[in-house]
Amino acid sequence: MRATPSSLIVPLGVGLALAAVAGCGKGGGPGGGPGGMVVHVVGFRAVEQPVEERVAVVGTLAANESVDIKSELDGAIETIGFAEGERVDEGTVLFRINRTKLEASLAEAEANLRLAETTLERYAALEESRAVSKQEADQARAAFEARRASAELMRAQLQDATVVAPFSGTVGARLISLGQYVTKGEALTSLVDTDIMKVEFSVPERFLSRVAEGQAIEVQLAAYPAERFQGTVYFIDPRVSTETRTVPVKARLPNPDGRLRAGMFANLDLVLQVRKRAVVIPESALLLGGGQASVFVITDGKAQPRPVRLGVRLAGAVEIREGLSAGEVVIIEGTQKVGPGSSVDVRLDERPVEEIVKKP
């Protein structure tokens, strides 16, 4: 029989404690003691298979990069270089603001700079012959530096008149029209990079030691309920919130087809631990009572109760952390008819555990 991987979703704030539903059978009932009638039961041979321990959390999708494009100058829009919703590359011209006044101001600043440079050269020569004082020469140098700074400022403003995409992404809605006069700081459009999405969520601090960068997550979205998207943790906040006692965590999700959108609500499973050789049995084998879980193990044709320590709950099955080994046979049907030491006639159910626990 070939084992197949199983997984668990552990809701936040819920442990693996089990509610007591029944006690072990007592001897003396029908077939309940040694020497009594043979009881017919169904058994299952405990299997060894991978088990994932998970925690279920909720989060929100965000773009890998997102920026509001704003004007750095006052002026009229003379060029719009994109269509709304268009994919653009880094450096693509998005807007051009009228440059006429800026070019004139730059020409004036450069002329003043040339004059200041000529004056500085003349004063430097005169200073060597002591025809001018050191103070006058210093004033000429300061005037030159001021003119040079003014010219550099005008060049930067002229460059700001051309608004380019700071990274590759998708342009949002256009907020202004061609020819419109805009002011410094006014929003023009937005740009988002959604090739890779981020999912932002918080994990209770009790799980902090079991969360690490590179850890796998599975994300489910309301827009695509039949699909699960795979991601990887890349950021764990170094601080714990004193209000919620949770740790902000971020993960990346590939988004090659662009279906994932910023702001989507995400249900996700964070894989805390993978045990590759876990012992698993159907949940119907469990006997619960007095805060202790146990199973009936068949040894030499007799049913013997044995306490076990439970691990993660699966869909209709359960992991046994202690008290049972792979290959041992437990009773999964007929436990209510046996007691310690009961003689049993066992019919083994040799189907995979996933098929046994399927609901009809």
Question: Residue 274's pLDDT is what?
Answer: 82
**Res. 2: pLDDT tops 80:** no
The tens digit of pLDDT for each residue in 184-207 reads 999 999 999 999 999 999 999 988
CA distances from 25 to 98, 129, 139, 264, 336 (A): 90, 117, 105, 51, 6
Residue 146 C-alpha from the chain's centroid: 51
Convert 273-282 to b/e letters by CB count within 10 Å (16 or more is b): eebeebbbbb
**Res. 6: pLDDT tops 80:** no
The tens digit of pLDDT for each residue in 209-255 reads 888 899 888 899 999 999 999 999 999 999 999 999 999 999 999 99
> Which of the four pLDDT bands, split at 50, 70 and 90, describes residue 359?
low
**Res. 29: pLDDT tops 50:** no
Inter-residue contact 165 to 81 (CB < 8 Å): no
Instruction: Give all domains of the chain, ordered by start, each with its CATH number.
Output: 13-49+276-356 (2.40.420.20), 56-65+193-274 (2.40.30.170), 75-97+162-185 (2.40.50.100), 99-160 (1.10.287.470)
**Res. 14: pLDDT tops 80:** no
The tens digit of pLDDT for each residue in 130-170 reads 788 888 888 889 999 999 999 999 899 899 999 999 999 99
**Res. 31: pLDDT tops 70:** no
How many degrees, rounded to 5, is the angle at CA 17 between CA 15 and CA 19?
135
Question: Residue 175's pLDDT is what?
Answer: 95
Residue reference for tokens 């965590």: 249
Q: Average of pLDDT values for 251-271?
A: 90
Structure tokens at 293: 């879980």
Instruction: Report the percent of the chain where pLDDT is more than 70.
Output: 89
Question: Residue 8's pLDDT is what?
Answer: 38
**Res. 33: pLDDT tops 70:** no
Mean pLDDT rounded to a whole number for the chain:
86
The tens digit of pLDDT for each residue in 326-351 reads 999 999 999 999 999 999 999 999 89
